Amino acid sequence: MTTPLLLAALLTCLATVIAVPAARVKWCVKSQQENLKCMNLAATHPVFACVVRQNTLECIIAIEAGEADAITLDGGDIYLAGLKNYDLQPIIAEDYGPSSETCYYAVAVVKKNSNFNIRDLKGKKSCHTGLGKSAGWNIPVGTLLSLGLLEWSGTEDSPVSEAVQNYFLASCAPGAERGSKLCQLCKDDCSRSQAETYYDYSGAFQCLKDGVGQVAFVKHLTVPENEKSDYELLCKDNTRAAIDDYERCHLAKVPAHAVVTRKDQALADLIWTSLTSVQESQLFSSVGYEPAKNLIFKDSTTKLVRLPSSMNTFLYLGAEYVSIIHSLKRERNPASASPAIKWCAVGSDEKTKCDEWSIFSAINGAPAVECQTASTFEGCLGKIMRKDADAVAVDGGQVYTAGKCGLVPALVEQYDKGKCGNSGESASSYYAVAVVKKSSKLTWEKLRGKKSCHTGIGRTAGWNVPMGIIHEELQHCNFSSFFSSGCAPGASPDSTFCKQCVGSDKSVGDEAKCKASAEERYYGYAGAFRCLLEDAGDVAFIKHTTVQENSGGNGPPWASGANTADYELICPNKAPVEVSEYASCHLAVVPAHAVVTRPDIRDKVVNVLLDQQIKFGSDTSDWKMFQSETSKNLLFKDSTKCLQEVPLGTSFDKFLGPEYMNAIKSLRECSETTPELEKACSFHSCQRKN
């Protein structure tokens, strides 16, 4: 029997549960007009709440502290929000339609009847959207520096804002120090908020329109349609162009404004679903809040686009834009003057070999090689992009991803000793093959429903080539409908292609299982062959030399019982052949592995590595670059005889060749197997490589 006291307690608990509000998105706003728009939005969509702060920095701090959840920021502020002390990330981008998509053009606008070009800006009056903002500050100031028009020796002597003050006669750059020349033309308090009339795109344009300034640094969609005939753009080649000619005449094409929040997937999901429930007319219009514009989102936004989950500040802004921001700080970095290159090792075994390399390279002085480490090749590519590392050797599929992220092939592995030392020789290539046990009686046509062994997701011989062929057969991307299970290191842990993976030797809590590194025993060429040898799979997709390298007494202990004669090659529309007959039965001829790096450090990487292989590239050297002891193919493939320089200016697509490019582009229709890093690097039209 329920007592009155117990019943009262139950009712109190029930009331408490009912009173708990549903999850809400707390949007940070910076002005009275923005707050009014936000409150009107919250009235019709209670999932939103409004948090008022005085400026962007206060909003960033509030989001980091959990007092607010989201705000839309421009590139310069996205960079600030992504710094370690705030650690916010972009999750949703504004899309401005066919003219620019998730990017926009930073332009310099002047009145048509004025008589000067970009090289005549010294001594003029300037209008900026705000200090530290993309189109209004970072891009134009960076452009003036790169063109040699603005003189500045660096932050050790003075901030860049001081150089800008000395360059222009007077300016309005909201957010600058009040009382300075950078605030001289501002109409109100020079704050980086709607309280300053000349703040943001519309404000900077109004500053020009009012005749207060002579040039406005804004985005390409700022000038109203009915006023375009009265204004022109300043081009970097010292000419002028019509307002609508921004694709040819602009200072830079930069990533769109984006919604930032804390690194919390559930919160990101809530923000996305909440925003997509709102009509675009409510989000992307400032009608009814005049004279304010661009409230919460830019008025020129046509839709919102969700960013890949792997996106971070650096990937969103891109190396080029981040470099511009760094150039405006111009802090001397002692590490950049080091003669050593930073090699990126994947996993613990590679790190051990790299550390040995570093020690041997320093025997007669400072080390020529220093070591960084990452758990995956994607992690290494990210480190190279951020300048935390300089180089890594990767296979063709990873060259493709690296190229999409702006890196370049600098050196290529050569597997024919007779071609070493001759710069005119063609680069090495190898055959991608499918290997089965003779006893299985398998042919290519009987593979459906069998178990597969792959070198790794996104790898050339182990994934891109065979799955590209299978993709053409299937005409869809559900590869688990073809193979019953498999091991493809780097696949999602719950994938069919992780079922046959074994990880390391740990019995419990094995984090190495299905990991794309040497810690997974079935990773790489030798690993995929081991997967076949140990009956974890029925077919192994590897390179043509792998069986011989791991049989007949060759290779590590696990391969001691393997005999080459027990295996054969299969390929479409052909009977199986001996392993040695790869020239007549293979899936593709593919390019050799290559060392990739950033374009700005390419020459240094080439010079250091060519010098290192003179010292450590032979079989008689004290330490051997191209041999591995604890595992196979560490840092470089063990079959490498030397490294050859890739001609300067060779793009990744030219290096890979048309056949391989066609195969990988076809496979990229299957987005679930596209590396997350590549998705992030390829997101923007303004950063897309080929």
Summarised one tens digit per residue, pLDDT across range 281-298 is: 899 999 999 888 899 999
What is the number of alpha carbons within 13 Å of residue 270 lying toward its C-beta? 18
SS3 call for 580: helix
Q: Nearest to residue 431, comparing CAs of 406, 407, 460, 451?
A: 460
The residues pairing with 437 across neighbouring beta strands, listed in sequence order, are: 567
Q: How far is CA 618 from the centre of its chain?
A: 36
Pairing of strands 215-219, 231-234: unpaired
At 508 the pLDDT is: 62
Q: Nearest to residue 597, comparing CAs of 342, 351, 370?
A: 342
**What letter represents residue 360's amino acid?**
F
DSSP H or E segment with residue 104:
strand 103-111
Buried b (16+ CB within 10 A) or exposed e, 66-97: eebbbbbbbbbbbbbbbeeebebbbbbbbbbe
At 686 the pLDDT is: 63
Does residue 605 contact residue 391 with C-beta atoms inside 8 Å?
Answer: yes
Q: Decide: residue 371, CB within 10 A, 0-12 exposed, 13-18 middle, 19+ buried.
A: buried
Does residue 678 contact residue 404 with C-beta atoms inside 8 Å?
Answer: yes
Write the DSSP string, 494-516: TSGGGTT---SS-SSS-TTTT-S
SS3 content of the chain, % helix, strand, coil (to 5): 35, 20, 45
φ, ψ (nearest 5 deg) of residue 461: -70, -30
Does residue 271 contact residue 69 with C-beta atoms inside 8 Å?
Answer: yes
DSSP H or E segment with residue 99:
none
Angle, alpha carbons 21-22-28 (nearest 5°): 90
DSSP H or E segment with residue 673:
none
Angle, alpha carbons 284-257-313 (nearest 5°): 145
φ, ψ (nearest 5 deg) of residue 613: -75, -25
Pair of tokens at residue 489? 């290191």
Calculate the alpha carbon distances from 14 to 1, 7, 86, 583 in Å: 19, 10, 38, 75
Give the number of other Cβ atoms within 10 Å of residue 504's Cβ.
15
Beta-strand (E) ranges in 190-280? 215-219, 231-234, 240-242, 252-255, 258-261
Pairing of strands 429-437, 539-543: antiparallel
Buried b (16+ CB within 10 A) or exposed e, 33-61: bbbbbbeebbeebebbbbbbbebbbbbbb
At 536 the pLDDT is: 97
Beta-strand (E) ranges in 8-88? 25-29, 48-52, 71-73
Distance between CA atoms of 466 and 484, rounded to whole angstroms? 16
Does residue 25 contact residue 69 with C-beta atoms inside 8 Å?
Answer: yes
Q: Is 83 left (phi over 0), alpha (psi -120 to 50) or beta?
A: beta
Contacts of 4 (CB under 8 A, 6+ apart): none
At 1 the pLDDT is: 42
Pair of tokens at residue 439? 């006893």
Q: Nearest to residue 56, comparing CAs of 39, 77, 76, 83?
A: 77
User: What stretches in the chain show pLDDT beneath 70?
Assistant: 1-22, 99-100, 330-337, 422-426, 507-509, 685-690
At 679 the pLDDT is: 86
At 8 the pLDDT is: 43
Query: Which residue in this structure is represented by tokens 């005119």?
Result: 424
At 19 the pLDDT is: 34
Does residue 232 contact residue 109 with C-beta atoms inside 8 Å?
Answer: yes
Q: How far is CA 489 from the centre of its chain?
A: 21
**What letter represents residue 135's amino acid?**
A
Contacts of 658 (CB under 8 A, 6+ apart): none
Preceding amide of 339 cis, omega within 30: no
